[in-house]
Amino acid sequence: MTALTRRIVLAAALTGTFAVAGCASGGPAPAAPPAAAGTAALATTLTTAAGATWAVVAMGSSASAENLFWELFTRPAGSDRWELATPPGVADNGGLVAASGPASVTVAFRPSQGLTFSPLAVTSDAGKTWGTGLLDAPVASVPDALAAGDGTTLALLGDGAIEQAGPAGAWSRLAAPGAIASSVAGRRCHVTSLTAVAYAPSGTPLAAASCTQPGIAGVFALAGDTWQAGGPVLTGAFAARQVTVLRLTGTTAGDVALLQAGVSGAASLLAAWTSDGTHWTVSPPLAAGPGQVTASGTGPDGAAWVLLSGGRAYAISGPGGAWRRLPSPPQGTAALATGLGGTFEALAVTGGKLTVYRLSAAGAWQEIQALTVPIQYGSSS
């Protein structure tokens, strides 16, 4: 039996095991302007409440999707060593999406190799063991397509629908495709696509979007059956720019949003934080210029980082902080992470090798670890 056959057999088993826990949506979706989920770079890092750091990066060969494998790594709290933690048994060529809850990490596999749904994996012991689950539709190709709360999980699907699972694992629909775009708040924002889901610190489901109405940051909170505007207010020059919420994710310091104001070539990036889901603190702008965001992530205390095309890297420490440029990271850097003592680490990929570099006090990237991942080229073809 080939590796691909084993993965499809497992996926079929998941379908049978979790069919009862699949999407429980009923009835046709109301007519609404289309607002499917957007796409964004999936490489990212996040820090859990327990202090562990997780990273999602692509490895293998970018020349062929069948030889590009997404991997999950973890660095336990208090440690400076990364470990491979990719959940076994399912083809991951389509990408991985991870979300951290109060006591667990949930990972969704984007469909590939003939799959039309997203298998799930959940761990509460730092990846030593994994439980399984299922979304019977593909999760969106954005890094915040999943959000984990206290016993609940949100999922943004590729068609723009939003589903929620309770402690028993059964999924129900919170928003049909186009529902947020057709709401009063969505029409005011002129939603073009959904980009993220998250939970407010209070537990309220949130959704993020790209909007064409200038000055509106498309963050929506579910109040009863209604999606209401709940994003930060942009002022000054940004009140006249279109805004896309690139990221919206929960951290140990509340929710963090990454906003892009303006179009490519003249865009600025802003970070925004909320500890109550209502009041926001917005950072000073970062002039992105012609650079595209190739990866982004979060760290302890609301810290955030971005990698831009052209080899530029920036980080911000949290509410009240300002963006600072980091020394150009090593070639092949796929993601950054906050290390021990507030230092930064760069995770660089070459084929099946992950090399970790740490930024010294003198501003030099120094290699501290190298891991070789057993990539089975051709196993997905």
- pLDDT value of residue 341: 81
Edge to edge, what strands does the sheet with 312-316 contain?
293-298, 304-308, 312-316, 324-326
From CA 103, how far away is CA 125, in angstroms rounded?
9
- pLDDT value of residue 39: 84
Q: Tens digits of per-residue pLDDT, 261-306?
A: 998 778 999 999 999 888 999 999 999 888 899 999 999 999 999 9
- Mean pLDDT computed over every residue of the chain: 88
Model's pTM, two decimal places? Answer: 0.89
Task: Please name each of the domains of the chain with its CATH number.
Answer: 3-19+34-372 (2.130.10.10)
Q: Tens digits of per-residue pLDDT, 229-258?
A: 999 989 999 999 999 999 999 988 899 999
Taking the chain, what is the end-to-end CA distance rounded to the nearest angstrom? 13
Q: Tens digits of per-residue pLDDT, 44-59?
A: 999 998 999 999 999 9
The pLDDT of 301-329, averaged and rounded, is 95
Which pairs with CB-CB distance under 8 Å and at least 24 residues apart come from 136-139? 136/15, 136/19, 136/22, 136/23, 136/171, 137/23, 137/161, 137/163, 138/110, 138/111, 139/97, 139/108, 139/110
